[in-house]
Amino acid sequence: MPELPEVETTRRGIAPHVEGREIREVIVRERRLRVPVPEGIEDALIGQHVGTLGRRAKYLLVPVAGEAGESRALLWHLGMSGSLRIARLGDLPRKHDHIDLVLDDGVILRYHDPRRFGFLDWLQGSVEADPRLARLGPEPLSPEFDARRLHTLSRGRRIAVKPFLMDNAVVVGVGNIYASEALFLAGIDPRRAAGRISRERYELLAAAVREVLAAAITQGGTTLRDFISGTGEPGYFAQRLNVYGRDGQPCRRCGSELRLVTLGQRASVFCGSCQT
For the annotated binding site, the residues are 96, 115, 157
Chain mean position to CA 95: 24
Work out the end-to-end distance of the chain between its first and last CA atoms, rounded to an integer number of angstroms. 28
Nearest partner of 241 among 201, 202, 269, 204, judged by Cα: 269
Give the max Cα distance, the chain.
64
Task: Answer whether 88's CB lies under 8 Å from 100's CB.
Answer: no
* 3 noted as active-site residue: yes
Which residue is catalytic, options 55, 58, 110, 201?
58
Distance CA 118, CA 6 (A): 14
Residues 6+ apart with CB under 8 A from 48: 22, 23, 64, 65, 66
Distance CA 17, CA 20 (A): 9
Q: How far is CA 64 from CA 54, 76, 92, 263, in A?
A: 12, 13, 26, 41
Which residue is catalytic, options 2, 5, 63, 163?
2
Distance CA 230, CA 5 (A): 13
Residues 6+ apart with CB under 8 A from 39: none
Binding residues for DNA are: 96, 115, 157
* 266 noted as active-site residue: yes
* 190 noted as active-site residue: no
DSSP run (H or E) holding 47: none
* 259 noted as active-site residue: no
Q: What's the number of CA atoms in the CB half-sphere (13 Å) around residue 112?
A: 18
List, by residue number, the catalytic residues.
Answer: 2-3, 58, 266
